Amino acid sequence: GKPLFLYAVEEFLQLPYVVTIVLVVDDVEKVLGILAEFSIDRNKVLVVSGEQTRHRSIRAGLRALHKKG
């Protein structure tokens, strides 16, 4: 079936004021494959590798979002 996180991603993608969704994950390639399998619009989803701590993972997500502009 569909992974649980995709239900949230799909709902957020429908909101007109959401520009980018950042997913901070352990396995970037796996998540990219899931997004492709379920035809999720990658123009609005940014997948970032998580770090060793929650604080560093949040920082990695924010940095990636900042780079995207």
List the pLDDT tens digit at each of the 69 positions of the chain: 999 999 999 999 999 999 999 999 999 999 999 999 999 988 999 999 999 999 999 999 999 999 987
User: What is d(CA 55, CA 33) in angstroms, rounded to the nearest whole number?
Assistant: 26
Supply the range of the domain harboring residue 38: 4-68
pTM over 0.75: yes
Q: CA dist 9 to 39, 52, 53, 55, 56, Å?
A: 12, 24, 23, 22, 22
Number of structural domains (the chain) is 1
Q: What is the pLDDT of residue 59?
A: 97
Q: What is the DSSP string of 25-58?
A: ES-HHHHHHHHHHTT--TTSEEEEE--SSHHHHH
